[in-house]
Amino acid sequence: MELSMEWEHKTLISELSQGKELAKQLSNHLNPSSSLEARQFLVDKILSSYEKALSLLNWGALVDQQPKPTIGTVEPLHSFANSSPRSEVSDQDCKEECNKDVYKKRKIQPRWTEQVKVCSGTGLEGPLDDGYSWRKYGQKDILGANFPRGYYRCTHRHSQGCLATKQVQRSDEDHSIFEVTYRGRHTCSQASPSPLASPSPKNDCSKQSKYHRKQQQLQLQREEKPKPTEEISVNFGSDLVQVKSEDLGSKDDIFPPFSFPCTSLGNENEENNIFTESMMENNFLGSFSPTFISPATSESNYFSMSPCHMNSFGIGYPNVQTPESELTTEIISAPTSVTNSPIGDFDISIDNVDFDTTFPFDNPDFFA
């Protein structure tokens, strides 16, 4: 925790420094010859940077206010992993007790929801390919829902004790929208789904197997009962992200307000991955730099994102308003490339804006 706080402090300073540096750059762009796009981008970056800083402060407050877990240890994630989920409990006598732990822990997992619109023809992007490697462990028909809800957990749950899970529910209203509810943080090493960070095959947590993809496609087809075919032309139109926080119903829930998409940088320290993971889990993956239209002054935050901002390291994650809040991210967004990789846009943006020179992730001490 102390490490986390220290990192948090450094991050905060880095964000503020970055904002300052960006403001400087913006001032250099205030001459008439400078393009409006460049200025707008810098403004976005500055806003994003400060939003992150504010969010970090909020998150820190949340952590401080976080009630101690009533069960388990101070490190619920790891203790849970070590105490094994139900399936790994061989001792029947222990089983019941451990089950209780499972369900208690379930409650204290951070949880947030995304609504992702699948706009590509494959139907595999969006919630089904968010960069992590998920394994389906269940499916259930939900009352009032036309489509069954799929339950996924991190493939590395057993190998690395990663407790991240997600639920995928296809929207009734718009069948191309998936509501993805994430729970828990990825604690698997790497935890770096962003192609931006490491396209390397060693990135075992960032790729889904071909088998996985095919199965998902089959599943999609199965779920398409009311709408048998969803052949959507590749339309990478306007990207809009709608973020709203909503009541969590559990004060135990922690929501990391933002994270950095530049991945874990090889650092497997869980504390250092708190933000990166949470962001990745929210599909931002370093792909988006939201332009805040409205600060988090209301229950719902809306911000648009432009593909030209795909390089942003700042997610500008919406503020967590209350410890009870749950973040719902509605991504009405298409993948910005056929490969669903933001790298192309990343490069474009880098070309456009010379902003990275001060970016803290270049600093090896950033995650130290």
Partner DNA sequence: CATATTTGACCCTC
Partner DNA sequence: GAGGGTCAAATATG
Based on the shown chain and the rule CB under 7 A, indicate whether residue 165 belongs to the binding site for DNA. yes
Q: In what order do the strands lie in the sheet with 300-304?
A: 134-140, 149-154, 165-170, 177-183, 111-117, 325-332, 240-247, 300-304, 291-292
User: Closest Cα to residue 131, out of 85, 69, 197?
Assistant: 197
The DSSP secondary structure of 158-202, one letter per residue, reads HHH----EEEEEE-SS-TTEEEEEEES---SSS----TTT---TT
Structural tokens at position 50 = 């400060």
Which C-beta is closer to DNA: that of 166 or that of 309?
Answer: 166
Which C-beta is closer to DNA: that of 150 or that of 261?
Answer: 150
The alpha-helical segments, DSSP class H, found in 66-167 are 76-83, 92-108, 157-160
Applying CB under 7 A, among 28, 82, 209, 294 the residue interacting with DNA is: 209
Based on the shown chain and the rule CB under 7 A, indicate whether residue 3 belongs to the binding site for DNA. no
Distance in Å, CB of 51 to DNA, minimum: 30
* Half-sphere exposure in the Cβ direction for 63 (13 Å, CA): 16
Q: Which of residues 237-266 bind DNA (CB under 7 A)?
A: none
Applying CB under 7 A, among 102, 232, 240, 332 the residue interacting with DNA is: 102
Q: Is 299 left (phi over 0), alpha (psi -120 to 50) or beta?
A: alpha
User: Closest Cα to residue 308, out of 10, 22, 3, 42?
Assistant: 42
Based on the shown chain and the rule CB under 7 A, indicate whether residue 88 belongs to the binding site for DNA. yes
User: Closest Cα to residue 306, out of 257, 277, 348?
Assistant: 348
Applying CB under 7 A, among 1, 30, 36, 143 the residue interacting with DNA is: 143
Applying CB under 7 A, among 133, 160, 189, 287 the residue interacting with DNA is: 133
With CB under 7 A as the contact rule, which of the stretches 13-21, 137-145, 265-273, 312-320 interacts with DNA?
A: 137-145
Applying CB under 7 A, among 219, 304, 337, 352 the residue interacting with DNA is: 219
Q: Which of residues 166-205 bind DNA (CB under 7 A)?
A: 167, 183
Cα separation, 14 vs 301, in Å, equals 24
Based on the shown chain and the rule CB under 7 A, indicate whether residue 135 belongs to the binding site for DNA. yes
With CB under 7 A as the contact rule, which of the stretches 83-91, 251-259, 275-283, 293-301 interacts with DNA?
A: 83-91
Binding residues (CB under 7 A) for DNA: these are: 85-89, 96, 99-100, 102-104, 106, 133-140, 142-144, 149-151, 153, 155, 165, 167, 183, 209-212, 214-216, 218-219, 222
